[in-house]
Amino acid sequence: MMLRVSSAILTRLHREADAAHPQECCGIMLGEGDRVTALWPARNVHAAPATHFEIDPQALVDAHRNARQGGPQVIGYYHSHPVGQPAPSATDSAMAAGDGMVWAIVGAGRVAFWRDGGAGFEALPYLVCDS
Protein backbone atom coordinates (compact mmCIF):
# COMPACT_ATOMS: atom_id res chain seq x y z
CA MET A 1 0.00 0.00 0.00
CA MET A 2 1.19 3.50 -0.84
CA LEU A 3 -0.14 6.10 1.56
CA ARG A 4 -1.17 9.44 0.06
CA VAL A 5 -0.58 12.59 2.09
CA SER A 6 -0.60 16.29 1.20
CA SER A 7 2.30 18.65 1.75
CA ALA A 8 -0.03 20.66 4.02
CA ILE A 9 -0.45 17.63 6.33
CA LEU A 10 3.32 17.08 6.39
CA THR A 11 3.86 20.76 7.23
CA ARG A 12 1.33 20.55 10.07
CA LEU A 13 3.06 17.49 11.50
CA HIS A 14 6.39 19.35 11.54
CA ARG A 15 4.79 22.45 13.08
CA GLU A 16 3.09 20.48 15.83
CA ALA A 17 6.35 18.70 16.66
CA ASP A 18 8.22 22.02 16.74
CA ALA A 19 5.56 23.66 18.93
CA ALA A 20 5.58 20.79 21.45
CA HIS A 21 9.38 20.51 21.65
CA PRO A 22 10.98 19.43 23.98
CA GLN A 23 7.92 17.28 24.64
CA GLU A 24 6.34 14.78 22.26
CA CYS A 25 3.32 15.96 20.31
CA CYS A 26 0.57 13.49 19.51
CA GLY A 27 -2.72 13.19 17.75
CA ILE A 28 -4.99 11.25 15.46
CA MET A 29 -4.80 10.92 11.67
CA LEU A 30 -8.07 10.99 9.77
CA GLY A 31 -8.78 9.99 6.22
CA GLU A 32 -10.36 7.62 3.78
CA GLY A 33 -8.69 4.43 2.56
CA ASP A 34 -5.04 5.15 1.79
CA ARG A 35 -5.34 8.96 2.03
CA VAL A 36 -4.61 11.11 5.10
CA THR A 37 -7.03 14.04 4.90
CA ALA A 38 -6.82 15.68 8.33
CA LEU A 39 -5.12 15.71 11.69
CA TRP A 40 -6.88 15.78 15.06
CA PRO A 41 -4.33 17.18 17.53
CA ALA A 42 -4.52 15.82 21.05
CA ARG A 43 -3.06 16.64 24.41
CA ASN A 44 -0.18 14.39 25.46
CA VAL A 45 -1.37 13.16 28.86
CA HIS A 46 1.60 10.89 29.63
CA ALA A 47 3.34 11.56 32.94
CA ALA A 48 6.70 11.80 31.11
CA PRO A 49 5.80 13.73 27.92
CA ALA A 50 9.42 14.47 26.99
CA THR A 51 10.03 10.80 26.22
CA HIS A 52 6.60 9.19 25.89
CA PHE A 53 3.16 9.96 24.55
CA GLU A 54 -0.38 9.06 25.45
CA ILE A 55 -3.20 10.54 23.41
CA ASP A 56 -5.85 12.19 25.58
CA PRO A 57 -8.63 9.56 25.75
CA GLN A 58 -11.30 12.23 25.20
CA ALA A 59 -9.70 13.12 21.85
CA LEU A 60 -9.95 9.47 20.81
CA VAL A 61 -13.61 9.32 21.82
CA ASP A 62 -14.36 12.58 19.99
CA ALA A 63 -12.55 11.53 16.79
CA HIS A 64 -14.31 8.16 16.66
CA ARG A 65 -17.68 9.78 17.41
CA ASN A 66 -17.06 12.29 14.60
CA ALA A 67 -16.28 9.40 12.22
CA ARG A 68 -19.48 7.56 13.18
CA GLN A 69 -21.42 10.75 12.41
CA GLY A 70 -20.08 10.84 8.84
CA GLY A 71 -16.73 12.56 9.32
CA PRO A 72 -13.41 11.19 8.13
CA GLN A 73 -12.34 7.82 9.54
CA VAL A 74 -9.62 7.33 12.14
CA ILE A 75 -6.80 5.73 10.14
CA GLY A 76 -3.96 6.14 12.60
CA TYR A 77 -2.00 8.15 15.11
CA TYR A 78 0.98 10.45 15.12
CA HIS A 79 3.61 11.59 17.56
CA SER A 80 7.08 13.09 17.60
CA HIS A 81 10.48 12.01 18.82
CA PRO A 82 12.04 15.32 19.95
CA VAL A 83 15.56 13.88 20.09
CA GLY A 84 15.22 10.73 18.02
CA GLN A 85 14.70 9.36 14.57
CA PRO A 86 11.26 8.99 12.96
CA ALA A 87 11.18 5.26 13.67
CA PRO A 88 9.25 3.26 16.27
CA SER A 89 11.02 3.09 19.60
CA ALA A 90 10.97 0.09 21.91
CA THR A 91 8.25 1.90 23.88
CA ASP A 92 6.22 2.46 20.70
CA SER A 93 6.48 -1.24 19.87
CA ALA A 94 5.39 -2.22 23.37
CA MET A 95 2.35 0.11 23.13
CA ALA A 96 1.33 -1.00 19.65
CA ALA A 97 -1.90 -2.96 19.31
CA GLY A 98 -1.03 -4.79 16.08
CA ASP A 99 -4.30 -3.49 14.66
CA GLY A 100 -3.12 -2.36 11.22
CA MET A 101 -3.36 1.34 12.02
CA VAL A 102 -0.98 3.84 10.42
CA TRP A 103 1.49 5.67 12.64
CA ALA A 104 3.31 8.83 11.63
CA ILE A 105 6.45 9.66 13.58
CA VAL A 106 8.18 13.04 13.30
CA GLY A 107 11.86 13.18 14.21
CA ALA A 108 15.20 14.52 13.02
CA GLY A 109 13.40 16.89 10.64
CA ARG A 110 11.58 14.08 8.82
CA VAL A 111 8.23 12.31 8.87
CA ALA A 112 7.99 8.55 8.44
CA PHE A 113 4.87 6.42 8.25
CA TRP A 114 4.53 2.91 9.67
CA ARG A 115 1.84 0.22 9.66
CA ASP A 116 1.23 -1.39 13.04
CA GLY A 117 0.82 -4.99 11.90
CA GLY A 118 0.57 -8.23 13.82
CA ALA A 119 4.30 -8.89 13.32
CA GLY A 120 5.33 -5.39 14.42
CA PHE A 121 5.84 -2.14 12.57
CA GLU A 122 6.46 -2.09 8.84
CA ALA A 123 7.69 1.00 6.99
CA LEU A 124 4.90 2.45 4.86
CA PRO A 125 5.89 4.32 1.70
CA TYR A 126 4.00 7.50 0.96
CA LEU A 127 3.32 9.80 -1.94
CA VAL A 128 2.92 13.55 -1.54
CA CYS A 129 -0.33 14.19 -3.37
CA ASP A 130 -1.60 17.78 -3.41
CA SER A 131 -4.45 17.37 -5.89
Question: Which are the catalytic amino acids?
Answer: 24
**Rounded CA separation 3/37 (Å):** 11
Select from 77, 100, 97 the least CA-distant residue to 24: 77
**Cα–Cα distance between 125 and 102 in angstroms, integer?**
11
